[in-house]
Structures are given as C-alpha cells and as structure tokens.
Amino acid sequence: MIRCIKCEQVHAITKSGVVHGRQRYYCKDCRIYFSLPESDPSPSPSHTGPHHSATILDIARALNISKSTVSRALQGHKDIKEETRAAVLEMASRLDYQPNLLAKSLVRSKTFTIGIIVPEFMNYFFPTVIIGAQEIASAAGYTVMICQSQESVATEIANTRALLASRVDGVLISMTRETEDFDHFRVFGRHGIPVVFFNRVCETIESSRVYVNDYEGAFSAVEHLIEKGYRRIAHLGGPPNLQLSQNRLNGYSDALKRHGLPLQPELIVRYDLQPENARLCAARLLDLPQRPDAIFCLNDPAAIQALLLAKERGINVPGDLGLVGFSDDPISSIIDPHLTTVRQPVGDMGKIAMQILLEQVEKGIGNYVPEHKTLPTHLVVRESSSGPTGHPR
C-alpha cells in the first residue's frame, strides 16, 4: 500500500532495491525515486518525504531539459541562455538541491580538500597552526580534513589511509613523537599527492618543509640565561627522533660552548612530550646533588611543569632557578612568574605551509621543486629568567 510521494498514486509504484535498510520505490508516472522507512509502516508526517536528495536530473526533469544543461547552468557555463539559467537556479533552490561533491570529485578526480595530520590539538600550538592553514585554504576554495594521530604511529598510518581513500588533493603533516619509520608517508608521493611537513618535519622524504629556526631560538635563549648570570644551565629536551629537539639541543650546547661553559651530560634530560613526564624529568634535574640554576625547556608546556614543580618545592623562580620555554603559549604570560620564552610565528607557519602546499597542488606533482622554509624566532624576556639572587646583572 505504497503511494507515490508526488502523485499520490498506488498503481505505478515498483520496488527499486533496498539501500541501507530502507526500501526504495519508483513511480513510473512521475519518474521519481523515493524511499520510506520500512520498519515504521505509518511514518509521522513530519518525517515523511523524499529522503533521496534532489539531483541535477530531478531539476532537469522538472524543467524538461537535459541534465547537461542543468549542470552547465549551475556552474555558470557561457553556453546557457540567461533565461534557462535563471529557471534552473530557481528550481534548484525550490527543490533544495545540494550538489553532490562525491560525484563531482569522482569525475573530475579532484576533491578540493586538503588533509592535515597533527599529533594532538590539546595544546596551543597545533590549533593555532590549523587556524592559519584553514584561513588560506578556504580563501582558495579548499576545505580541510583534520586528523589527529594522538602521538601514535598506528593511528597516523590509519590517518594516511583515510586521507588517501578520501582522495585529498594534498596533505599537511606534523608527525608523531614516535614516528621513526616514514614509509607510510611515501604512499602520497606514489599517488601524486603533494605533502608538506611542518614543525615536526621528516628529512628523509623528498618534500617541502616549513619550520622555525630552532637552533637559533635555542641559542639565543641559552645565551640570554648566561648573560643574566646563570651558570649551571640544564636542558629539558625532547625525543631524539624529532629533528627539532635535536636542533634545539644543538643550539643549547653551542651557546654553552660559545661562552666557555662546560657541557655536562647529567644536565641534559629528554622527555617524550607527555606533560606528566615533563614533570618527572624536571624532578630528576631538581633532585641532582648539584642542582642546576636554570633550565632551558623544549617547549612551554614542559617549562610550565617545571615551574609548577619548583613552586611546590619552594624553589624560587627566577632567584634559585631560571626558566625559559619555547613557543610562547598564552599560559606563559599568565603564570606567575611570567615565563620567558622563544616566540615562534605559529599562525604564520600554518599559513605558509598551506600556501606552499596549494601552489604545489595547482602545479601538479613533478612540476615544482620542494621548498624549505625557515621561520624566524624571537626571544620574549619575562620574569622567569631575570637572574639568580646574588648575581644581579
């Protein structure tokens, strides 16, 4: 006892397969498909109706023209009379037509979406990058698809597959803290999809990269501590497989060398980017028989953990312990004492990375050379490093 949703007739209805749990029907008179929930024999009026969204074919039939014409009218092709176009547009909005990107992308083999893989977005850094990137992308008519690997290679691999399956036109990647094998990234190259790495870059893959000058940032931070009178400066570093922790470590040690200070291995600890472990590592440093009088931390979250721990233990910052972080997290200017840090242009990093990526997407793979962009850093001096007590400068 199925009636057509349009002509309300019963006789011209035939079944037309089941799609995902609901019976589809076809009315021969109206030449229209529709479906009704089959578990509910008498659906409430508010939920009845054509769940089958309108297509260009529906518009075409309603106007007695061909779907080619509708398609062309919709995309502003010049071959279409102004009159017809107006009619199409009018009917499109009447039928609540929404173009099906899946179909469009399928035939044009271009999706106008960019994939982004980040390890997390709990902290300040990655959301800010993403916002910058998204701004550029949507200005260029692209949408983004954000994946978070949650610092796990397994889900990172899953993410690459998902993006590949969705046929994104390009991807932006900042890898996991534990990524050591990069094979899963190569698949993009094999499929002609440009990628650009940012922040946590991959050096063994031929691709564009954008990052800040970690070495210089670290160098200036440590030099600043030295100038303020700190002498036993420790480093709370990051995992060795990340290039940036290596660079910051190098900046640290070179600054020490430059000023004739010894490089003491026990003053260097590395944490795996988990906040809890930053705290643990800071504790290791503070528990040292000969305590450091300053710590240069890999990033602000780590510095904040160190600061909190110091406060708990009654260690005066900056009097007994100088602290400087990296990346200028907003919390750093709120916490007491305010944290000295190395500011990096976070939003710009997203923008620039996306700009480079989109350029390469438009050019097509093989028609561009990978680009390596280094962004400047800038030391922001605040209270946490104003010099040890008894050594005012």
Neighbours of 260 (CB within 10 A): 7
- The correct pick among 29, 180, 203, 206 for binding a second copy (CB under 8 A) is 206
Size of the site for a second copy (CB under 8 A): 65
Tokens of residue 21, six digits: 């749990």
Q: What is the DSSP string of 68-103?
A: HHHHHHHTT-TTS-HHHHHHHHHHHHHTT----HHH
Stretch in the footprint of a second copy (CB under 8 A) among 55-63, 177-185, 186-194, 286-294:
186-194
For a second copy, the closer of residues 166 and 274 by Cβ is 166
- Dihedral angle over CA of 266, 259, 391, 297, nearest 10: -50
Neighbours of 225 (CB within 10 A): 28
Instruction: Give alpha helix (H) positions in the chain.
Output: 56-63, 67-74, 82-94, 101-108, 125-139, 153-165, 183-190, 214-227, 243-258, 275-286, 300-312, 346-363
Contacts of 392 (CB under 8 A, 6+ apart): 229
For residue 304, the minimal CB distance to DNA (Å) is: 47
Is the alpha carbon torsion for 165, 242, 368, 125 positive or negative?
positive
Neighbours of 110 (CB within 10 A): 12
For residue 39, the minimal CB distance to DNA (Å) is: 17
Asked if 51 is part of the footprint of DNA (rule: CB under 7 A), the reply reads no
For a second copy, the closer of residues 10 and 19 by Cβ is 19
Q: What is the DSSP string of 346-393?
A: HHHHHHHHHHHHHHHHHH-TTSS---EEEE--EEE--GGGS--TT---
For residue 81, the minimal CB distance to DNA (Å) is: 4
For residue 24, the minimal CB distance to a second copy (Å) is: 10
For a second copy, the closer of residues 196 and 226 by Cβ is 196
Which partner from the list a second copy, DNA, none does 336 bind, CB cut-off 5 to 8 Å by kind? a second copy
- The correct pick among 18, 86, 139, 154 for binding DNA (CB under 7 A) is 18
Q: Looking at residues 319 to 378 of the shown chain, list those that interact with a second copy (rule: CB under 8 A).
A: 331, 334-336, 364-367
Asked if 53 is part of the footprint of a second copy (rule: CB under 8 A), the reply reads yes
CA gap 351, 226 in Å, rounded = 35
Asked if 23 is part of the footprint of DNA (rule: CB under 7 A), the reply reads no
Residues forming contacts to a second copy in the complex (CB under 8 A) are 19-22, 37, 39-40, 43-44, 46-49, 51, 53, 96, 98-103, 105-106, 108-111, 121-122, 124, 127-128, 130-131, 134, 138, 143, 145-148, 155, 158, 161-162, 164-167, 187, 190-192, 206, 304, 308, 331, 334-336, 364-367
Residues that bind DNA (CB under 7 A): 16-18, 20, 33, 52-53, 55-57, 64-69, 71-72, 74-75, 78-84, 97-100, 103-104, 106-109
